[in-house]
Amino acid sequence: MYFHRVFWAFKPCIDAFRHLKPMIQIDGTFLYGKYSHKLLIATGQDGNLKVVPLAFAIVEEEKRESWSFFLTMLRRHVVKERQVCVISDRHGGILSAVANDESWQPPLGYHVFCIRHLASNLNTTHKDRKAKKMFTSAGKFGYRHFQLLSDYLLFIR
């Protein structure tokens, strides 16, 4: 018998999720020591700008099947029917896992990329630091504006 994959999420995190911003960040990282497995993590953020851990998984490697497993479980147990935006790097495994899963496509899920990972991909493929900087700043364009929520008006004397 050998270890395959494991996904876990804690009840308080699942309950907390519907109070968080509809935005999830996912990424994979190495395990140290005797395992060559990867630890996949999903995190959210609350209205007070605090980071909230949502779900974890240990998988054999970052490939389509393992990301697909993680995203399916995340949708089934944590996110449920909520409309969310997912931020990740542009890993081939995540791309094809999202492409093959309807629950992570609009209007339920919007997949966007981390500008820092994209810029460093651009730098490795084209060896161009100036283009990397320009690309990062192009991604960040946008300035603050205010949009009135008329439901949230109150008068206090």
Partner 1 sequence: MVIDIFNYCQIICYLLDNIYLFILVNEGYEYQPHRVRRKLQEIRDFNEDAAKWIDDIPIEQWSRAYDENRRYSHMTTNLVECMNGALKGIRSLPITSLVEATLFKVLKWFVDHGRQATNERVAGHIYCEYYRNAFNKNKAKASECEVIILNVEETGFKCKNHTIDLDGNLVVNFDFH
Residue 51 φ/ψ, nearest 5 degrees: -80, 130
Minimum CB separation from partner 1 for residue 35, in Å? 7
Q: How far is Cα of residue 20 from the mean position of the Cα atoms in its chain?
A: 14
73, 57 Cβ separation under 8 angstroms? yes
90, 113 Cβ separation under 8 angstroms? yes
**Between 27 and 68, CB nearer to partner 1:** 27
Structure tokens at 48: 């007070």
Minimum CB separation from partner 1 for residue 150, in Å? 5
**Between 1 and 154, CB nearer to partner 1:** 154
Residue with tokens 């205010």: 146
Minimum CB separation from partner 1 for residue 15, in Å? 10
Minimum CB separation from partner 1 for residue 68, in Å? 19
Residue with tokens 């890993």: 91
**Between 43 and 72, CB nearer to partner 1:** 43
**Between 68 and 88, CB nearer to partner 1:** 88
